Homo-oligomer: A and B are copies of this chain.
């Protein structure tokens, strides 16, 4: 089982404003920068409750028809967008990975600040693709949080796009 992160951050490392707003992202997500190609390799999404609620409010559901696992310690009533399957699970990152592996899934897309940090802390993310948007927000929800010890990554590749997006891919050494 492999798990990846594919996320945009501001230059100062925020993935959203403090209230979750993404209005600082380039319109329509910016020029094509590999999201569709990445999504084509993904078997399921794993996100937290907050990201789920944010994404439910988007004009367009960003995860296509991929199964979406929502981590939450509370059951919830929600209406999944037509054609999508969203499952709320109360489990640790390791338990989620085990359950999805049993279902034959090979590649998970981990999304949302808290969930990414939990999976990173558990050593369950192998790859991070970070797209830097050339804006400084000053405050917001950070991609990274405290870590138990320095987390050294291996740089794989970096691409700059004409709009100013800079995308770097890193591997997390085992």
Q: Given the complex of chains A and B, what is the CA–CA distance between A130 and B132 in angstroms?
A: 12
Contact B146 A139 (CB under 8 A): yes
In the complex where A143-B12, A144-B11 touch, is A137 in contact with B150 (Cβ < 8 A)? yes
- Tally of this chain's copies: 2
Contact B144 A138 (CB under 8 A): yes
Q: Which of A102-160 contact B (CB under 8 A)?
A: 130, 132, 134-139, 142-148, 150-155, 157-158, 160
* Contact residue among B130, B135, B170 (Cβ-Cβ distance under 8 Å from A153): B135
Contacts of A146 in B (CB 8 A): 138-139
User: Is A93 in the interface zone, CB < 8 Å from B?
Assistant: no
Could you tell me the distance in whole angstroms from the C-beta of A94 to the nearest C-beta in chain B?
20
User: Is A166 in the interface zone, CB < 8 Å from B?
Assistant: yes
Contact A154 B160 (CB under 8 A): no
Contact A150 B136 (CB under 8 A): yes
Give 13 A-B contacts (CB < 8 Å), ordered by A residue: A11-B130, A12-B144, A13-B13, A132-B168, A134-B155, A134-B170, A135-B150, A138-B144, A138-B145, A154-B164, A158-B160, A166-B166, A166-B168
